[in-house]
Structure 1
């Protein structure tokens, strides 16, 4: 099976990981047509979510403010099949990676927290904004945005 996907991972797949998915898709769309990243599938999933849920309204609004539409997002749980086709698993927290290691037999070749790619990041976990106000969602969005150039650079170097 070809490993041709990047999967963003959070808990419920309704806040952080859909934002990561939408922002990476947006970044890849801006790359030249010749970029190998154009062939990547960008997905998101949750460790303990409820399949079929929509993205949280605050996540949709926060991304809409920067011109990214995730209004059609539908939550899904991570599966072994998804992991088998995954080139890079990008988790929002170390606990998400630990959960996958505990419950699944194999990990993708590249598995890391998103903020671990950011030099001098104050922390490696992105706060779960669920239940907080719009300002928290915007802070989370901006933290994910700050990591996007680092993620794109990593993928351009590693994905052939």
Structure 2
């Protein structure tokens, strides 16, 4: 069975997108769905290529049971548009940058990460220049967003298994 491939995108790939990637991986493992979904995260800019996620983000995520310390920042590449089924932006500025770089045939893959949630906001705020509470707020929003994304992915996986996929 083909894996469903999800890519999270933020600015430097050290705060929001790796947190979403790590939390999604964790939630998929808990539900036994990790064999059906591949995840990754990237930045729109090359500010932190090769660096791990921020220490504050990792520490606070670990307190919630998440470990994504294995991730290293990389920048969005042309190959990502072909490789991934879902390219999820953390904020509207990221979505615009992704659309500008994306070939026309892959534009439909680009969505806002929080499009799948029932939150009032569609953007995950950047905690980079803030303090621990900003990271906690980010993690709260991402946990909620990931929970809704997992429900969406479960439907996609079940549709693929039964041959009724709409994507």
Q: TM-score, normalised by structure 2?
A: 0.85
Q: Show the counterpart of 1:44.
A: 41
Matched residue count: 155
Q: Show the counterpart of 1:103.
A: 101
1:44 is paired with a residue of what secondary structure? strand
As a proportion of its length, which structure holds more helix? Answer: 2
- Output the CA distance in 2 between the equivalents of 1:123 and 1:65: 25
Structure 1 position 58 matched with structure 2 position 56 = yes
2:13–2:75 CA contact under 8 A, matched in 1 = yes
- Output the CA distance in 1 between the equivalents of 2:149 and 2:107: 16
Name stretches of at least 5 consecutive residues in structure 2 with no aligned partner: 161-167
Q: Structure 1 pair 109/157, CA: closer, same or farther in 2 (3 Å)?
A: farther
Q: Show the counterpart of 1:75.
A: 73
Spell out structure 1 runs of 4+ moving beyond 6 A: none
- For the aligned residue pairs, the C-alpha RMSD in angstroms reads 1.7
- CA deviation profile, 1:116-157 (whole Å, cap 9, x unmatched): 2222x2211111100110111011001100112210111122
Q: CA deviation at 1:14?
A: 0.2
- Output the CA distance in 2 between the equivalents of 1:66 and 1:3: 27
Name stretches of at least 5 consecutive residues in structure 1 with no aligned partner: none
